Amino acid sequence: MEKINFSGGEPFLHNRGEFLGKLVQYCKQELKLPSVSVVSNGSRITEKWFKNYGEDLDILAVSCDSFEEDTNRLIGRGQGNKNHIENLLKVRTWCKDYKVAFKINSVINRFNLEEDMNEQVMMVNPVRWKVFQCLLIEGENAGEEALRHAETFVISNKDFQRFLERHKEIKCLVPESNEKMRDSYLILDEYMRFLDCTKGRKDPSRSILDVGVENAIKFSGFDEKMFFKRGGKYTWSKADMHLDW
C-alpha cells in the first residue's frame, strides 16, 4: 500500500478529530505509508489538530462545491451560523502554516454549473482541484425517495464539459466525469468491506477481516487500468511535492 485516504461523512466529527489524528499518526509512523490524506468539509477542523497531527498528514482536501454561500446552502453545504468559505480560507492558512498540501474537491451539479470559480480557485491556489460530475449511487444517493431528490442535481456530460471549458486555464484542475469514476476507486467502509459503488450501486464485499484482502477485493469492481487512466496515480507525498510553504 502506498496511500490511504480518510473520507466519508465528516472524519473530524468523533472527539474533535482525535481518533482521526491517531489513525493518521499510525499510518505514517507505524505503517510508513508514503501518503496519508483526509477529505473534510472543513467545519470541525481546529488549529490545535494541525499542531498535534499536521506533521504526519500529506494532503487535506476540503469539499467546496461553490464559492457563493447561498449556493452552498441550496446544495446542502450550509454550516449553520458558520460561513463555509471563511472556514475554507482559514483551513487553507493552517495547511500552509503546518506544511500540509491543500486540495479542493468540487461536485458539479445543476446548482453550481454556471458558476465561474476561476478567481477564487487561483487565489486559494490548491495543489489539486478535483472536479467531479455529479454521480447517482444506488443505496447512497439514489434510492427510492432519495433518488427523486438526487436527480435534481444531475447534469449531462455536455454540461460538465462546458464547466470544464470555462475553467481550462486552471492548471491544477483534475476533472472526473462519471465515466472516469466508474470502477476506478477502491473504497473500504467502516466494516472493512470493499464497496463496488461506482457502477451505480453500493454492494459491499465480505469483510477483509473474515476473508482476507485478496478474496474481498475480487468483489470491489476495481479496475486498475481505469485508475491510472483517470490520473489516480500522482505525486501524493508532500515530501516529493517540493512546495514553497
Kindly tell me if the per-residue pLDDT of 184 is higher than 90.
no
**Where along the chain do its domains lie?**
3-181
What percent of the chain is predicted at pLDDT more than 90? Answer: 56
Confidence band for 104, pLDDT divided at 50, 70 and 90: very high
Q: What average pLDDT score do residues 42-54 get? A: 95
* pLDDT at site 142: 46
What does the alpha-carbon distance between residue 191 and residue 209 come to, in Å, rounded to a whole number? 9
Confidence band for 141, pLDDT divided at 50, 70 and 90: very low
* pLDDT at site 221: 77
Q: CB-based contacts of 238: which residues, under 8 Å, 6+ apart?
A: 35, 58, 59, 99, 100, 101
CATH class, domain 3-181, is alpha beta
Burial of residue 164 (CB within 10 Å: 0-12, 13-18, 19+) is middle
* pLDDT at site 218: 80
Kindly tell me if the per-residue pLDDT of 27 is higher than 90.
yes
What does the alpha-carbon distance between residue 52 and residue 69 come to, in Å, rounded to a whole number? 31
* pLDDT at site 202: 62
What percent of the chain is predicted at pLDDT more than 70? Answer: 89
